[in-house]
């Protein structure tokens, strides 16, 4: 198991390295370079050259990458040329909001998705299952910014129950969290449902009954534990997709997290900030993926054996 974790961590470092190169190069494939965005057409050629030197763009790519990665690794992010804000400051103000939103959404996804999936499986083909499964189809079908607008119309404008946007109070997180959670929630419900149905068909369930265990314990301890493998392995995809949608959801609800900061930076052509935020968010996804993989190995001792021997 430890060998597996070490190998998986080493792989993560490699992927992080590749990701940093991708983010780095993504900016260099642009026609011209970053100076395009900073230097206005009326700037003199002297100013242009000066800026290239300032930004280190006249040096070889390798060297530029070295500067870039050192900056990131030492946490010495520097300041934006456009907004003149420290990147570190942008991150420290935005991160708590993004984490807050993400945790609220995750709470909804797993806190609701797992029990609802189990209930649908136990009441298979009866009304609880039909209601839950139909909602899952709807939840998968609706694009989340469309859902966002519908929810704003109903709860914020129509019923005036919740704030439309901003982050002024604890109520503000409710709508964006719901919007972010709906698609992964639908997926989790479906996966848990079919996984539990599958597990209920296993021999060990009969043994547990023959041992005289309470039904509650059989389902919520044994069957559930065995059903979580697919959920955990799915978590990686879900983190990735939720993180992407965070950008949109944060903008819609004017939520001051990293996602809206990134979109803002991109729209303002603030390339230094955009690059750092993009790398940070990508790194978060990659690290969470790793954790999900390791978690899956822990959850299922049989998978553990397979991956170790692989």
DSSP labels, 137-154: HHHHHS-HHHHHHHHIII
Q: Which stretch binds another protein (CB under 8 A): 52-60, 62-70, 74-82, 271-279?
A: 271-279
Q: Which of 17, 54, 42, 83 is nearest to 266 (CA)?
A: 83
| Interface size with another protein, residues (CB under 8 A) | 85
The reply to whether 286 sits near another protein by the rule CB under 8 A is yes
CB of 56 to another protein, least distance (A): 18
Contact positions with another protein (CB under 8 A) in 207-226: 207-218, 222, 225-226
Q: Is 143 helix (H, G, I), strand (E, B) or coil?
A: coil
Helix (H) or strand (E) holding 289: helix 271-299
The reply to whether 184 sits near another protein by the rule CB under 8 A is yes
Contact positions with another protein (CB under 8 A) in 25-64: 26-27, 29-31
Q: Which stretch binds another protein (CB under 8 A): 60-68, 70-78, 168-176, 270-278?
A: 270-278
CB of 38 to another protein, least distance (A): 13
Q: Which is nearer to another protein, 71 or 123 (CB)?
A: 123
The reply to whether 67 sits near another protein by the rule CB under 8 A is no
Secondary-structure breakdown of the chain: helix, strand, coil percentages, each rounded to the nearest 5: 80, 0, 20
CB of 282 to another protein, least distance (A): 6
Q: Which of 54, 87, 84, 55 is nearest to 72 (CA)?
A: 87
Q: Which is nearer to another protein, 46 or 198 (CB)?
A: 198
Q: How far is 160 from 139, CA to CA, in rounded Å?
A: 24
Q: Which is nearer to another protein, 25 or 44 (CB)?
A: 25
Binding mask 229-268 for another protein (x = CB under 8 A): -------xxx-xx-xxx-xx--xx---------xx-xxx-
Contact positions with another protein (CB under 8 A) in 85-144: 122-125, 140-144
In this structure, are residues 238 and 86 in contact, taking their beta carbons and an 8 Å threshold? no
Beta bridge partners of 86: 79
Q: Which is nearer to another protein, 9 or 153 (CB)?
A: 153
Q: Which residues of 105-115 are buried (b: 16+ CB within 10 A; e: fewer)?
A: bbebbbeebbe
CB of 46 to another protein, least distance (A): 25
Q: Where are the beta strands (DSSP E) in 26-102?
A: none
Q: Which is nearer to another protein, 170 or 210 (CB)?
A: 210
CB of 285 to another protein, least distance (A): 6
Q: Which is nearer to another protein, 78 or 143 (CB)?
A: 143
Q: Which two tokens stand for residue 36?
A: 């395009």
Q: Which of 240, 228, 233, 235 is nearest to 185 (CA)?
A: 235
Q: Which is nearer to another protein, 177 or 180 (CB)?
A: 180
Q: Which is nearer to another protein, 152 or 167 (CB)?
A: 152
The reply to whether 178 sits near another protein by the rule CB under 8 A is no
User: What is the distance between the terminal CA atoms of the chain, rounded to a whole angstrom?
Assistant: 12
DSSP labels, 205-264: HHHHHHTT--HHHIIIIIIHHHHHHHHHHHHHHHHHHHHHHHHHHHHHTT--SHHHHHHH
Q: Which stretch binds another protein (CB under 8 A): 62-70, 99-107, 167-175, 296-304?
A: 296-304
């Amino acid at each position: 198991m430890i060998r597996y974790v070490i190998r998986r961590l080493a792989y993560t470092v490699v992927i992080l390295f590749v990701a940093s190169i991708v983010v780095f190069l993504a900016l260099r494939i642009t026609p011209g370079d970053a100076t395009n965005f900073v230097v206005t057409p009326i700037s003199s050629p002297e100013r242009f050259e000066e800026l290239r030197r300032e930004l280190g763009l006249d040096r070889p790519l390798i060297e530029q990458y070295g500067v870039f990665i050192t900056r990131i690794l030492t946490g010495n992010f520097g300041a934006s040329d456009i907004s003149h804000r420290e990147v570190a400051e942008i991150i420290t103000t935005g991160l708590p909001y993004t984490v807050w939103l993400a945790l609220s959404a995750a709470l909804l996804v797993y806190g609701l998705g797992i029990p609802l999936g189990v209930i649908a499986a136990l009441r298979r083909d009866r009304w609880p299952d039909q209601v839950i499964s139909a909602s899952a189809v709807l939840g998968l079908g609706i694009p989340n910014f469309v859902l966002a607008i519908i929810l704003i119309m109903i709860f914020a404008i129509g019923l005036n129950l919740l704030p439309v946007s901003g982050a002024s109070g604890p109520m503000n997180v409710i709508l964006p969290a719901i919007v972010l959670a709906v698609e992964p929630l639908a997926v989790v419900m479906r996966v848990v449902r079919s996984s539990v149905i599958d597990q209920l068909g296993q021999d060990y369930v009969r043994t547990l009954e023959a041992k005289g265990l309470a039904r509650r314990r059989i389902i919520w301890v044994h069957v559930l534990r065995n059903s979580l493998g697919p959920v955990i392995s799915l978590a990686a995809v879900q983190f990735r997709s939720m993180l992407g949608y965070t950008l949109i959801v944060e903008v819609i609800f004017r939520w001051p997290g990293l996602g809206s900061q990134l979109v803002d930076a991109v729209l303002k052509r603030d390339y230094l900030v955009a690059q750092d935020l993009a790398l940070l968010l990508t790194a978060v996804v990659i690290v969470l993926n790793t954790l999900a993989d390791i978690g899956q190995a822990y959850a299922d001792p049989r998978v553990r054996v397979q991956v170790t021997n692989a």
